[in-house]
Structure 1
Amino acid sequence: MIRSAGTTPSLTARVRRHIAEGHIDATPAAVMTAVRREADAAALGDNAVLHLAGRVRDQLVGAGPLAPLLADPAVTDILVNGVEVWVDRGAGLHRAAADLGSPEDVRRLAQRLAAACGRRLDDGHPYADARLPDGTRLHAVLPPVAMNGPCLSLRTFRQRPFSLPDLVGRGAVPAALAPVLAAVVAARLAYLVTGGTGSGKTTLLATLLGLVPSTERIVLVEDAAELRPVHPHVVTLQGRTANVEGAGAIGLTDLVRQALRMRPDRLVIGECRGAEIADLLSAMNTGHEGGAGTLHANAPADVPARLEALGLLGGLPRAALHAQAVAAIQVILQVRRTDRGRVLDSIGVLLPTGEQHLATVIPAWDRERGLGCGAPSLARMFAERGVPVPPLLGAVAATPWASSVPAPAVVGERSW
């Protein structure tokens, strides 16, 4: 049970009533005073009252029974279905023994969290997507849209981003691949980190941005600010949703155009999912090398189709999209979630193939198969940009197929 001894709904209700009737801000001191008044402080002692006041304040202005889970550094996701709580500590979802009370208690919790982010959540607007003050991402849906009761999805924020050695130590990146990833950044190759929801795209991207030289300026464009790379010169632009009147929305397309006027050495889009892909490709084709972003894709072979769909939203015809994509993006890093955690699954190079020179992802490395036919092309890109070829690719750098890759008849695993 997450609710501690002595923290009863009646005590919380009495403290809430005391603060509301006195028009008092629910500061830690005010909650402490109210708890001392409403509880038997003499019997509990100072330490117990202090602990109890913290619990009560969580019930009033914080995450309530979810606060201990949010404080657990191993937890990456918290999902609430009605009154059931599920958590992900990197190895899949498991039930958590958290007592949220009734569905009405969960509804109040969701509304309180949304209100703390300046979002409306009620019967007239039964869903909200927001970011809590500590960086945690919140998504909430209320009945009748959510048929089985209120639903909350919380994606926790890691205060200290991973370093590349951290990812190697956790098994997310093979040790032999670490120099390859570092070389991608050093060579200023443009790359996309692709994968499914919750596969670790943002984590890997933030880690790689930490490898950018300190003399360069990184401008991040995000729908919700998640990237916190360890770098001395980072500027973050965050999109804004419309207000209650439906006005004031600022999309990523507008922010990309603003970012281009801010002298970025590295232009990064946290998640490419709309018409902003057209502006990003245009920027990468006009001297802004080393750009990056994340993209939802089930497999590397699906990336060109995803880019096509997004390019159409931005008014890019198919032929123009493929021409710009192969000129702007060089590397695709695919990540996925496994039973053992999130891992780098493959590295591919985006090359024009076939008579129409359509963008195709050619595998350079795969976790199960090793090096692929795109490895020589990747090694050649490093050499052409004056970056030492990593040892893993050194053996294939001089092979005859380093200068040309045959166009596969079928894209994907069979093009290996």
Structure 2
Amino acid sequence: MTVGSGPPDADLVADVRRRLADEGGPVTVERVAAALRATGRVLGRTALAELEASVHAEIRGAGPLQPLLDDPDVTDVLVNGPRDVWVEHAGRLVRTDVDLGDAGRVRDLAVRLATAGGQRLDDARPAVDARLPDGTRLHAVLPPVADGCTLLSLRVVRHRPFALADLVRSGTVAPGVDELLRGLVRGRANLLVSGATGTGKTTLLSTLLSLADPGERIVCVEEAGELAPQHPHVVRLLARRANVEGAGAVELADLVREALRMRPDRVVLGECRGAEVREVLSALNTGHDGGCTTVHANAVADVPARLTALGALAGLSRDAVAAQAASAFHAVLHLRRDGGRRRVAEVGVVDRLDGAGGLHVRTGLVVAADGRVGAGPGWPALARRAGLTGDRAPTGPG
């Protein structure tokens, strides 16, 4: 994969940055172009346009990595060294020929991106997890914690909306399973979307929320504005990390409580991975139907253990988590990634063992890699919740 020819001259970037600082005000593409022309560089129109974009990326964006982040088929950019840059392109890791210069420039880029995300990255704090202004997730580690060179991991947030029919055509949702999903949303079921990192949990959740009644008010609580439902009444509450002084943090748990005071028809937590599980379980047990959240898990059967672990972070006992989760969530939608393709692999029903024991998820549907669908013991309960008539489960293609 060929992208760019390396970063622009460091002295030129420093000159442009100094001119912008002297003028003050927001750094825009137009101001970068004007400052670049003011340096007296004599270039042709095409070369000047390319240099303007490169300098702007060096000052405001991710430098030579910016074209990679702008590629709609790229989901992750991984930097292992100055000339060891990889991307996940269309579901596969591909090495690029991007040249970041030397280890010093990689470190400078990481520090600048961390600062843009409101975080500190230096020898005293050699690892950072941040969100860039455009929503891109940044993780960076400096040497000597990182062996040899600063390591960068950038995950791109795409706001491209998908209709449920699009997910069926792409193979993410098997034929017939889409009707079950429509019924669950129409029936205001509380949904838990599970899966590993990068399996498409946010994409699926955005698509399902787009099916909600246009007259409903959806309140989304997120770390960054990743959910993109095509719905006329969506409001967002975004968490805020502490600044470099360690002050000003606004946690997800606080925002879930705020959301309940905003007359929501559906409360949605973009990702549940900490003590905020207590607030989510409380909300979905107090009459707030139609709520949704996502959680990291390996399979439907592993969801109870994951919820129990999160509940422990919030001071909830195993029995308390089981009692609340069994009545809070009506269905678990599990996504898996096979060979770069993301798909709904299982749909389960949450309940308690023998009505009183630990938490359990009964399998309702299992979807094979070829799209064939098999019913499990939880199918009748799923069908009733989705308002589907008859006991016949979807079978997929064939």
What TM-score results when the alignment is normalised by the length of structure 2? Answer: 0.90
Letter in 2 for 1:63: A
Cα distance, 1:128 vs. partner? 2.6
Say whether residues 1:181 and 2:181 are aligned partners: yes
Say whether residues 1:339 and 2:339 are aligned partners: yes
Match of 2:392 in 1: 395
Match of 1:286 in 2: 286
Deviations 1:234-277 (A, max 9, x none): 12112222222222222122111111111111111111111211
- The count of residues paired between Structure 1 and Structure 2 equals 385
Q: Distance in 2 between matches of 1:323 and 1:62?
A: 47
Match of 2:380 in 1: 376
Deviations 1:182-235 (A, max 9, x none): 111111111111011111111111111111111111111123332122211112
* Cα separation, partners in 2 of 1:37 and 1:282, compared to 1, 3 Å: closer
Runs of 4+ more than 6 Å apart: none
Looking at both structures, which has the greater relative contact order when contacts are Cα pairs under 8 Å and sequence separation is at least 6?
Answer: 2
* Cα separation, partners in 2 of 1:39 and 1:168, compared to 1, 3 Å: farther
Match of 1:72 in 2: 71
Cα distance, 1:52 vs. partner? 1.9
Match of 1:362 in 2: 362
Q: Distance in 2 between matches of 1:58 and 1:298?
A: 38
Q: Distance in 1 between matches of 2:271 and 2:28?
A: 36
Q: How does 1:7-18 map to 2 (within 5 A)?
A: 9-10=8-9, 12-18=10-16
| Bigger radius of gyration among the two | 1
* Cα separation, partners in 2 of 1:318 and 1:19, compared to 1, 3 Å: closer
* Cα separation, partners in 2 of 1:376 and 1:19, compared to 1, 3 Å: closer
Say whether residues 1:211 and 2:211 are aligned partners: yes
Deviations 1:263-312 (A, max 9, x none): 11111111111121112111111100111100111111111111111122
Match of 1:129 in 2: 129
3-state SS of paired residue (1:168): helix
Cα distance, 1:331 vs. partner? 0.4
Q: Distance in 2 between matches of 1:238 and 1:266?
A: 16
3-state SS of paired residue (1:312): helix
Say whether residues 1:248 and 2:248 are aligned partners: yes
On the 8 A contact 2:7/2:99 being kept in 1, the answer is: no
Match of 1:49 in 2: 48
Q: Distance in 2 between matches of 1:8 and 1:315?
A: 49
3-state SS of paired residue (1:240): coil
Letter in 2 for 1:301: A
Q: Distance in 1 between matches of 2:238 and 2:72?
A: 25
On the 8 A contact 2:138/2:155 being kept in 1, the answer is: yes
Letter in 2 for 1:17: D
Match of 1:298 in 2: 298
Deviations 1:330-371 (A, max 9, x none): 101110111141111111111222363432111111112611
Cα distance, 1:90 vs. partner? 3.7
Deviations 1:113-171 (A, max 9, x none): 22223322222222332222322222222222222311211111213222211111211
* Cα separation, partners in 2 of 1:331 and 1:34, compared to 1, 3 Å: same
On the 8 A contact 1:161/1:230 being kept in 2, the answer is: yes
